[in-house]
A and B are shown apart, each in its own frame.
Chain A
Amino acid sequence: MSGRRVGKGRLPAVLVVPAVLGLAFLVLPLVGLLARTSWAEFPSRLLSAEVGEALRLSLVCASLATVVCVVLGVPLAWVLARGDIPGRRLVRALVTVPLVLPPVVGGVALLLVLGKRGPVGGLLENWFGVSLPFTTAGVVVAEAFVAMPFLVISVEGALRAADPRVEEAAATLGASRWLAFRRVTLPSVMPGVVAGTVLSWARALGEFGATITFAGNFPGETTTMPLAVYLALETDPQAAIALSVVLLVVSVAVLASLRNRWVGG
């Protein structure tokens, strides 16, 4: 190839310069993070007690939160996509609120409702003796709250793209709506469910604002990795960097697993 560009002309500098600046702005901090990592100490830091604890807690809580998201979110997505319910647009808007809500506000809201004096938290306390705020379970609740919209939106999109008449075909073959959902619809939207699950998990893993507000910061109990990073930054910067690199690697892995759907082409 001679490098000639037929019919398009040169890229205008007025677009190229901001584009390069924008790219540098996004990439340089990540490069800086990797450059400042002391790789010799990296394995030992990762295996240190506090880091290991935060890592384990993060993985457990994010996975449990994702399970909650799937169990509640997939049916919610189905109802939004297929259910003939009044005010569906309003419900859809409400579902996406946690997506744009500052997580701290979400944490405050959870505290007000699920706290000891909150309407739901009071009932849980009186009836079951369960208190969610400032516990590991509270971390799961906070993470599920912010992560679920990702799952619902992803699955609902897949459901709306799938032909609803296939469910009708299943009905004429004698399948109840539940059976049709389980054996026909769910398998056909599985890529959307997987994508939503991965996104929810990644969001839950990185959750900070709602967690620290609702669950507090108690090492071994509610200090997940993002909280540990924040905490370590003042006392032990190298630990903070090591934790950050772990989170960065997880993020890139998530992106790679979704590349065909989100950043392909």
Chain B
Amino acid sequence: MVLGPNGAGKTTALRALAGLLPLQDGHIRLDGRVWDEPPRTFVQPQQRQVGVVFQDYLLFQHMSALENVAFGLRARGTPRDTARTRARTWLDAVGIGDQARKRPGALSGGQAQRVALARALATEPAVLLLDEPLAALDAATRLKVRAELGRHLRDFPGCTVLVTHDPVDAMALGDRLVVIEDGQVTQTGVPREVARHPRTPYIADLVGLNLLRGNANGSVVTLDVGIALTTVDANTGGIYVACPPSAISLHHVQSSAPNTWKTSVVGVEQHAHTTRIHLEGGISADLAPATMADLDLSVPLWATVAPESLQTYK
């Protein structure tokens, strides 16, 4: 699972794996077989055992759904009738056997996506590559197709590399997450671990956590933004501090509670049932409507967070 913002290089990475873009440097290997290692080795895409689901599917418009799925088998030398029978089986497997004779132009977005998946799976590749497989679908279809896609990916015996900018896809469909930002890998791990312990502002924002860097000396962390916080755990040196925005409360008067600092509001954003308040230092607080009514956001306020709400990690 490759997650990253638009323009981070996710699709480029996928194209390199598929052999559509030669590497400048580094290597691509699969089970000890070298696919690309400049300047010596480059295996052409048609020689790689890959199946690709492109973002806009790139179905062959002049062929029926069945011919699209059979194409890879035919290209690899399977006799016509066998290829069509197996293509039909794959279309049935993704649940659109009844659309086999239609051209891609006559299919809905969700159906076209399934044809693309069947086409990629039909050649039984060693690696399945999916580029934003759900991005072209409307919200309602996406929900249904995501669940189905998860089922097909679990059944698929080879490796899957799925590229997405949607954290829900990444968490729901992946068992190992690689985050790419600006062409660099910024974090890897199992999705739950990445979600709990984000290490870049991009990931923290996706999973809805405040992420702060600081320097720990025992149970006191001096944040880079100048605030000193008390934590439950004792650490030394540079650490990350994360807390959910709902754990931060705002008051007009200074309380005697630990972890209280003076701040002011730089922005306000309305979410479904809460209001997100952006504070100085890149910290956000989520407030319930009732609390909002009691606050004057135009004056400096006191922010408080309980030590138990703070997670620290290296």
Residues of A bordering B, CB below 8 Å: 163, 165-166, 168-176, 179, 183-184, 187-188
Contact = CB atoms under 8 A, between A and B. Distances in A.
Given A165-B58, A187-B62, A188-B61, A172 B75 contact: no
B58 A173 contact: no
A170 B76 CA distance: 11
6 contacts: A166-B58, A170-B75, A172-B20, A172-B52, A174-B76, A188-B60
* Residue of A171, A173, A175, A184 with most partner-chain B CB within 10 A: A173
Contacts of B71: 170, 173, 175, 183
A168 B20 CA distance: 7
A188 B62 CA distance: 7
B210 interface: no
A133 B77 CA distance: 47
A241 B257 CA distance: 107
A179 B44 CA distance: 14
A56 to B, nearest CB: 36
Interface string B29-71: 0000000000000001110101110100010111000000001
A133 to B, nearest CB: 43
Majority SS of interface residues in chain A?
A: helix
Interface in B101-141: 119, 123
Given A169-B58, A171-B20, A172-B52, 20 more contacts: A166-B58, A166-B60, A168-B45, A169-B52, A170-B71, A171-B44, A171-B45, A172-B45, A172-B46, A172-B48, A172-B50, A173-B51, A173-B75, A174-B72, A174-B75, A175-B75, A183-B71, A184-B60, A188-B60, A188-B62
A137 B75 CA distance: 39
Contact of B119 (A168, A171, A173): A173
A179 B18 CA distance: 18
Contacts of B45: 168, 171-172
A166 B48 CA distance: 17
Interface in B137-182: none
Contacts of B51: 172-173
Nearest to A167: B58
Contacts of B54: 165, 169
Nearest 6 pairs of A and B residues by beta carbon = A173-B72, A175-B75, A169-B58, A174-B75, A171-B45, A174-B76
Contacts of A171: 19-20, 44-46
Nearest to A169: B58
Contacts of A175: 46, 71-72, 75
A172 B51 CA distance: 6
Contacts of A183: 71
Interface in B70-115: 71-72, 75-76
B200 to A, nearest CB: 31
* Residue of B20, B46, B54, B123 with most partner-chain A CB within 10 A: B46
A188 B52 CA distance: 21
Contacts of A173: 46, 51, 71-72, 75, 119, 123
A176 B75 CA distance: 8
Contacts of B58: 163, 165-166, 168-169
A166 B63 CA distance: 13
A193 to B, nearest CB: 13
Contacts of A184: 60
B311 to A, nearest CB: 42
